[in-house]
Amino acid sequence: MHFDVVLTSRDPAGLNSFALAVSTPGSPEHGKFLTVSQFAARFGQTPSAIRAAESTLREIGLKPGPVTANGLVVPVSATFGQVADILHTQFVDYRLGSGRVAFANTTAPQLPASLGRMTTAVIGLNDLATNQINPLRGSAGTRGRAAPQSPALPPTACSAASAAASKYQGWTYPKLAAAYSINSLYKHHDYGAGTRIALFELDAWSISDINAFQSCYKTNVHLSSVNVDGGDGSGAGGGEAALDIETAIALAPKADITVYDAPASNYALSVVDELTRIFDANNAQILSMSYGLCEPFVYSLDTGLADSENLLFEQAAAEGMSVFVASGDTGSEGCYRVNQSDALEVLDPGSQPFVTSVGGTDLTHAGPPPKETVWNEGVNTGAGAGGGGVSGNWAMPAWQSGPGVINSYSDGVPCGSSGYCREVPDVSASADPEHGYIIRWKGKWIAIGGTSAATPLWASMLADIESAHSPVYRAGFLNPLLYSAAATSSTSFHDITVGNNDYTGTNGGAYPATSHYDMASGLGTPYAPGIEKDINHANSLIGFTDAPGTDSPPPFLGTYKVTAFDAPCTVGDDYSEIAAPTGDISLVPDTECEQIANGWETWSNGYTGDVYWQDSDIGGVTSLVLTMPAGTRAFYFYAEPDEFETFDLQATANNGATSGPLEVYGEAGAQYFGFYANGKGENITKITISCDDDFAIGEFGIAYGK
């Protein structure tokens, strides 16, 4: 058998704080994501601790494999008998209702104390759990009129897909793109180019289905596949992988897509191994995951699975990966498919604090604007309802705030919180299979739905947004941004105010849709241009670097070749502008010219030109605004304050996006600071410098571009 020893982080509190900081707009750490090697060096177990763990496992008779790149997971191989003897447990086989024979340990494993102190969980000692989210199929002509399939910008469906949409009252992808104004993101013809979407699968898929779909939509998306632990086999699968792949192809037709697949038969081990492989590869900006189990079931079968997932999702946030997870298809009664319970429960990992949980709506008119209600077909139809409710495990994160979040259904009891517990979903999209997505599966065009359809829709939309920037950036964990945007803007979401997700009808309509946030639809469904604007402002179209420090400047800022220039002036005179190769830079207020030898003698890297001095003793002014020539794509300068004081720096783009303000330290010698625009058609319009003492700037470089 194979199992994992999931180690703890060397700095759990620091990891949690960092994952939040890099994901929170306005934080000084925002957007400063780590590579996997940087993550391992900072938050994985130390090399000496890993060697000790491996040595201990060998000493007790087990065979550890090499630790994963994040420094957190040690794979172990052994026989069942060895594991039973060495870890002091026993195994029993069970025949499940499905006919599958599963194994499970009867008692918790016992590790040596030295290893136990650095272990989060031992994962893989049972394979009882199987995923409970599966795509739901619509039926032909069951209700309503056929959904009109009017032309839209790419993607473009073929006649066979459009005919299936009429038959099933479903939606082709052009209509879904139009409903949420995703097609407005195609104006630059980026279509996700330069991004990579990772798809988490426990399901097989057929290349012939994918090829037929691509032929219909006239796409040529590059697919790659990674089998984890041997994958889940070949064939058409259950439709989940086909749905995820085809949604990503249609809505982000120039993105790269990597399909990760692990066996469905050992859910807990596959989740840990597959997520680890995805986050250690760290070559995708976005992950879509349409799988889960109700929280109590997860905790009873694998007590450490939720904590192991949380550790890995913190890694994803630290690396800047956006993770979307389906909230489930049995409404507020999340365990119903497991044991027909009508208790109010939610699903893991959709309730995890570092994922964006995606719920479901019934889209009845694509618009735009769309007409939607909460998706809830009721338990008697078997069609499902959008998952949502209160977590029994996680306290409400600090970012989960805003109108509607604290309501009469909010609770701190299930998770044992002194405040409130995490609420889901965060957002929603079309999910009703009776108005399903038209996909190709098993050689046929069918309608399919569920929150496992809404999830890759959100992932694909984000890929389109990120691809509009050069170089492509990572938006990272989105929830702090989304909740902040929803609290301050009414243009980013379609607010769902009709319906509830009481799937069994036994919980008094819990939870109802309301204005603003609710546990039936989250913040609402996306208005893509509004989400794009929010992301652009929060992540900023402006890059910043202070990498050279006191050394000579680099020749490039971002992708722009920068022209260095002197700005000679007359010592003692005041100046309202600086002459640059691309036009004049205006200064407000006027700034006095100084020579290096006349007071700024510690300037760096041999620079001997003039500098511009801002004197805080004159009128108490400590700020300087530089207005850039039209078309400025990048600008750098060196600055030095008196007494090594701290600078606040902020660059502003022509769309109003800003870089900060950023707090930087005035260490000995003049320091280099550079800003550059990331967005296509975006320019830097002004730079604001503030300091608590006198400061000087000089030694400039600029880049111009259309």
Segments making up each domain of the chain, as ranges: 2-123, 136-539, 542-704
* Closest C-alpha to 337, from 130, 104, 124, 128: 130
Decide if 404 contacts 346 (C-beta within 8 A): no
**Alpha-carbon torsion angle 413, 419, 423, 427, nearest 10:** 170
The 10s digit of each residue's pLDDT in 679-698 is 667 899 999 999 888 889 99
CA distance 256 to 276: 20
What letter does residue 111 receive in the DSSP assignment?
A: -
pTM of the model: 0.84
**What is the pLDDT at residue 152?**
44
Rounded-to-integer distance, Cα 579 and Cα 565, Å: 9
Q: Do residues 315 and 346 touch, judged by C-beta distance below 8 A?
A: no
Using N-to-C axis directions, what is the helix angle for 12-21 and 36-43, rounded to 10°?
140
* Separation of alpha carbons 17 and 271, rounded Å: 24
Residues of the chain by 3-state class (helix, strand, coil), percent to 5: 25, 30, 45
Select the more confidently predicted residue: 468 or 140: 468
Query: Predicted confidence band at 621 (pLDDT cuts at 50, 70, 90)?
Result: low
CA distance linking residue 38 with residue 193, whole number of Å: 27
For 252-262, the pLDDT digits (tens) are 999 999 999 99
Asked whether residue 678 carries a pLDDT value surpassing 80, the answer given is no
pLDDT of residue 601: 62
User: Could you identify the residue written with the tokens 């967005």?
Assistant: 679
Residues 44/10, Cβ–Cβ less than 8 Å: yes
Q: Which of 385-394, 547-556, 564-573 has the highest mean pLDDT?
A: 385-394
Q: How many CB atoms lie within 10 A of CB 90?
A: 12
* Of the candidate ranges 83-87, 558-562, 625-629, the one whose mean pLDDT is the lowest: 558-562
Give the relative orientation of helices 305-319 and 36-43 as an angle to the nearest 10 degrees: 120
Say if residue 586 is exposed, middle or buried (CB neighbours under 10 Å; 0-12, 13-18, 19+).
middle
Query: What per-residue confidence (pLDDT) applies to 527?
Result: 96
Of the chain, the percentage scoring pLDDT greater than 70 comes to 95
pLDDT level of residue 214 (50, 70, 90 thresholds): very high
* CATH homologous superfamily of 136-539: Peptidase S8/S53 domain (3.40.50.200)
Strands 356-365 and 427-430 turn out to be parallel
Query: Which tokens go with 668?
Result: 């000995």
Contact 367, 179 (CB under 8 A): yes
Q: Which span out of 297-301, 613-617, 660-664 was modeled with the highest average pLDDT?
A: 297-301
pLDDT at residue 473, rounded to an integer: 81
User: What CATH number belongs to 542-704?
Assistant: 2.60.120.260
Query: In this predicted model, what pLDDT tens digit does every residue of 318-342 receive, in sequence order?
Result: 999 999 999 999 999 999 998 899 9
358 strand-pairing partners? 326, 427
pLDDT tops 60 at residue 620: no
The pairing of beta strand 556-557 with beta strand 671-677: unpaired
**Residue 93 three-state SS:** strand
Non-local CB neighbours of 601 within 8 Å, separated by 6+ positions: none
